[in-house]
Amino acid sequence: MSHGPLDDDAVESYREAGAVLVEAMNEAREMVEPGRSQLEVAEWVEDFVREEGAGLAFPVNLSVDPEASHATPSRDDDTEFGEEMVCLDVGVHVDGYIADAAVTVDHTGNVELVEAAEMALEAAVDEAGPGVEVGVVGQAIEDVIRGYGYTPVLNLSGHGVEQYDAHTEPNVPNRGVDRSVELEPGQAVAIEPFATDGRGKVGEGTDEEIYELQREKSVRDRRARQVLEEIAEFDGLPFAARWLSNDRAGMALRRLKQADVVKGYPVLKEADDALVSQAEHTLLVTDEGVEVITAGIHDFDG
């Protein structure tokens, strides 16, 4: 796909989404501590974003220890944080323009694992620019993480974002790749290195709390129809089961999944049950270089 430069309104919306995200993230990361309720932290972030007049590009992800992605509290979840490594991944949109960023909060004492993902992200942002192959960005990520003696999560990658679409081309791998596509001016790209002391592969766990509308289709079941009406308000973006007001939403969601109307995002876990850290920024590719719209959440942001 070819991209023209982003128009001024789009750039302004990206910047606003980034600013709301940074404010939410820097409060929320302080709340992630042993004994605190996961649900409380997720809802605090989500309420803050809505009160700022922005939208959620996806539910707050709180991925703990071997979990890398797609974990979010369930309705009435009473899980508390422990002495854990928590990847806090937040997506905010303004008028559909998405900022996606993540930090890792560590209460396990594995400081270097967190640092490996952070430094890999810094190297990737330094490398990125118009005409730069995504495989070169991936090589920078891989080199830094392996330099720490860890492994990048090889089957997760960064991704483009477009209006009301949280995952588009181009994929930005977390490893070196020969002859890959080039970043183009006008793209918005989320770069997200994951580091682990395991084998560097994630698989699907059994928990599933995040869903997305897959296609419009009429359903007979009355309750499923009611839930589908609510889902329409999420603009095609991923949503949490706990966002649905219907107290029988679980069964309705299963029906909608069976009918291929919604798809689920199972929690992704490291295959060796090893710890996973994550660092993520969203950046705009410009004619001259990149503009990081989520700057202010990582140590290297300056």
Q: Which is nearer to Co ion, 46 or 100 (CB)?
A: 100
CA 47 remoteness from chain centre: 18
Q: Which is nearer to Co ion, 185 or 193 (CB)?
A: 193
Residue 273's Cβ-count burial label (10 Å; 0-12, 13-18, 19+) is: exposed
Report, in Å, the least distance between residue 168 CB and Co ion.
14
Q: Which is nearer to Co ion, 275 or 297 (CB)?
A: 297
Tokens standing for 232?
Answer: 């329409």
Sole window of 29-37, 82-90, 178-186, 208-216 interacting with Co ion (rule: CB under 5 A): 82-90
Report, in Å, the least distance between residue 87 CB and Co ion.
9
Report, in Å, the least distance between residue 213 CB and Co ion.
19
Q: Which is nearer to Co ion, 65 or 89 (CB)?
A: 89
- The residue type of 81 is F
Residue 193's Cβ-count burial label (10 Å; 0-12, 13-18, 19+) is: buried
Q: Which is nearer to Co ion, 16 or 280 (CB)?
A: 280
Dihedral, 265, 266, 267, 268 alpha carbons, nearest 10: -90
Q: Catalytic residue among 70, 93, 159, 281, which?
A: 159
Sole window of 44-52, 87-95, 142-150, 263-271 interacting with Co ion (rule: CB under 5 A): 87-95
Sole window of 89-97, 114-122, 193-201, 217-225 interacting with Co ion (rule: CB under 5 A): 89-97
Nearest Cα residue to 300 out of 146, 99, 119: 119
Sole window of 95-103, 106-114, 169-177, 261-269 interacting with Co ion (rule: CB under 5 A): 95-103
Q: Decide if residue 89 touches Co ion (CB under 5 A).
A: yes
Tokens standing for 55?
Answer: 């939208």
Sole window of 30-38, 46-54, 204-212, 273-281 interacting with Co ion (rule: CB under 5 A): 273-281
Contact 56, 92 (CB under 8 A): yes
Q: Is 93 a catalytic residue?
A: no
Q: Decide if residue 100 touches Co ion (CB under 5 A).
A: yes
CA angle centred on 240, ends 236 and 243, rounded to 5°: 95
Q: Is 280 a catalytic residue?
A: yes
Q: Catalytic residue among 197, 280, 281, 298, which?
A: 280
- DSSP, res 299: G
Largest CA distance in the chain: 56
Q: Catalytic residue among 167, 230, 235, 272, which?
A: 167
Report, in Å, the least distance between residue 123 CB and Co ion.
18
| Residue 207 CB coordination number (10 Å) | 15
Query: Can you tell me the distance from the alpha carbon of 91 to that of 192, in angstroms, rounded to the nearest whole number?
Result: 13
| Residue 47 CB coordination number (10 Å) | 11
Q: Catalytic residue among 67, 84, 100, 209, which?
A: 100
Report, in Å, the least distance between residue 221 CB and Co ion.
33
Q: Catalytic residue among 67, 84, 89, 142, which?
A: 89
Contact 63, 209 (CB under 8 A): no
Q: Is 230 a catalytic residue?
A: no
Contact 227, 87 (CB under 8 A): no
Report, in Å, the least distance between residue 280 CB and Co ion.
5
195 beta partners: 152, 277
Q: Which positions from 275 through 294 interact with Co ion, judged by CB under 5 A?
A: 280
Q: Is 159 a catalytic residue?
A: yes
The site for Co ion (CB under 5 A) is made up of 89, 100, 102, 280
Q: Active-site positions?
A: 89, 100, 159, 167, 192, 280
